[in-house]
Amino acid sequence: MDRGLLEKLKRHEVSFHEIDKILDPDTAIKLRRTAVSELTGASLSHTGDFTLDLEKVTKRNIENMIGAVQIPLGIAGPLHIKGEYAKGDFYLPLATTEGALVASVDRGSSVITAGGGANARIFDDKMTRAPVFRANSIIGAKSLIDWVSSNFIRLKECAEKTTRFGKLLSVEPFIAGRSVYLRFSYDTKDAMGMNMATIATDSAVDLILSENDVELIALSGNMCTDKKPSAVNVILGRGKTVSSDVIISTDTIHEKLKTTPSKMFEVNYRKNLLGSARAVSLGFNAHAANIAAAMFIACGQDAAHVVEASTAITNMEIVEEGLYCSVTIPSLPVGTVGGGTDIGAQHECLSILGVGGAGDPPGVNAKKLAEIIVAAVLAGEISLIGALAARHLAKAHAKLGR
């Protein structure tokens, strides 16, 4: 190890990122890790143990890398899904440090499968980016909106020149005084598509600025809305808008969940619906983010988008057979190419689900992944609501994890 360069790192005479220009990735990572360990006094022996492709991840996924953090990976299932894209039995990879979570999803999967499987359908599919412009007045704002309406085809051609697969679907305007927000929506096929939408929108913005007396303030004006809970995503959707449902018999609820349809209905009504309304929550569910986060981390998704998945709506209704259960996720941004999906372990998890890489035709793998995730969330909701109805929640956490 180059001790002189190490001391320069510690004295901040050389920055963490500069050594990537001098050393190969493996040596640079070890040097940074040693510097951090000596600067902070922390032992970093575990973070240095990994099997990542350093050439790939240091160019595409991480900066100033010092190692990797391991998260336990569990499996739940089989979960039988009757989707348009996801059809059959699936084993769910869940990366989490929360004891009882995998067991809960496993139990919910068993309940759903005993009920004949979960239906799953995609209702909308688009990725958005919404730049904000400043006009001189509301007259200028109206002029810009009229121009966009008249020039959509030109904007579409300009945006689509930047991508092989992306297609501009619409541009929806929103105003606040002389601030104009243009919500560009794209079909991004198997990619989650945030970068694709950003680059394409940036190109379209150049055309807008060349023919309108407005100023671009920011390429993202938060009307997208990316990685934040928002009503616009709940209402208009972002990523995949996807639902899953199942009818569970009274006997299955008695046998597997040790409770009754009426008790589960009331838990959902008073907790997920009334309780969420009283809290003015944008999510009407028990713990949808738990399952989404575990699957996102396992499958190389952008973990920050869990906040959008958390706006899921869980519904339960008493029916003649027993209990109708559904989950709708208005905003589920997922993909099977790009981002973290090409990292070794994450690609293996996608392969468990049969969605590794691009689909044929393009887009089907990302849709299949969305159907699997929403059905997995449904399994988690059924299990937790059943546990609450039977008053088993505290017992399960005491036994399986605190």
Nearest 10 degrees: Cα torsion 351, 357, 362, 365: 30
Does residue 138 carry a pLDDT above 70? Answer: yes
Active site residue 348: no
Q: Which of helix, strand or coil describes residue 90?
A: strand
Q: At what angle do helices 393-400 and 364-390 cross, to 10 degrees?
A: 110
pLDDT for 194-219, tens place per residue? Answer: 999 999 999 999 999 999 999 999 99
- The pLDDT score that the predictor gives to residue 367 is 98
Mean pLDDT of the chain: 96
Does position 236 have pLDDT exceeding 70, yes or no?
A: yes
Marked catalytic residue, from 18, 38, 98, 157: 98
Asked if the model's pLDDT at residue 396 lies above 80, the reply is: no
Instruction: Evaluate whether 329 touches 311 at the Cβ level (below 8 Å).
Output: yes
CA angle 214, 223, 228 (to 5 degrees): 145
Tokens, residue 89:
């039995």
Residue 102: pLDDT band (50, 70, 90) is very high
- What whole-number distance in Å separates Cα of residue 297 and Cα of residue 281? 24
For residues 148 and 122, give the distance between their C-alpha atoms in angstroms, rounded to a whole number.
Answer: 29
Residue 398 pLDDT: 57
Write down the pTM of the prediction.
0.95
In order of 122, 213, 311, 352, the CA distances from 369 in angstroms are: 11, 43, 18, 11
Mean pLDDT across 223-242: 97
d(CA 168, CA 155): 8
Reading the block at residue 26, the tokens are 């493996």
Q: Does residue 394 have a pLDDT over 60? A: no
User: Rounded distance, CA 9 to CA 7, Å?
Assistant: 5
* pLDDT at 1 (0 to 100): 79
Q: What is the 3-state secondary structure (H, E, C) of 92-114?
A: EEEECCCCCHHHHHHHHHHHHHH
Q: Do residues 183 and 130 make contact, with C-beta atoms less than 8 angstroms apart?
A: yes
| Cα gap 331→192, rounded to integer Å | 12
* Predicted local distance difference test score (pLDDT) of residue 397: 57
Mean pLDDT for 335-357 is: 97
pLDDT at 400: 61
Q: Which residues pair with 113 in a beta bridge?
A: none
Q: What is the DSSP string of 64-89?
A: S--------EEEEEEEEEEESS-EEE
The amino acid sitting at 225 is: T
Mean pLDDT, residues 142-148: 98
Between vectors from CA 61 to CA 59 and to CA 66, what angle results, nearest 5°?
A: 85
> What is the reported pLDDT for 401?
58
Q: What's residue 93's pLDDT?
A: 98
Q: In the prediction, which pLDDT does 33 show?
A: 97
Q: What percent of the chain is modeled with pLDDT above 70?
A: 98
55-95 per-position pLDDT tens digit: 999 999 999 999 999 999 999 999 999 999 999 999 999 99
Task: Report pLDDT for 108.
Answer: 98
Percent of the chain topping pLDDT 90: 96
> What is the pLDDT confidence band of residue 392, given thresholds at 50, 70 and 90?
confident
The domain 73-125+239-400 is classified under which CATH number: 3.40.50.12780, 3.30.365.10, 3.90.770.10, 3.40.80.10? 3.90.770.10
The length of the chain is: 402
Active site residue 206: no
Contact predicate 146/208, CB 8 Å: no
- pLDDT bin (cut points 50, 70, 90) of residue 399 is low
> Does domain 131-218 fall into CATH 3.30.43.10?
no
Give 48's pLDDT tier (boundaries 50, 70, 90): very high
Domain ranges for the chain: 7-60, 73-125+239-400, 131-218
342 is catalytic: no
Q: How far apart are CA 95 and CA 376, in angstroms?
A: 13
pLDDT tops 90 at residue 302? yes
Which member of 20, 106, 245, 302 is catalytic?
Answer: 302
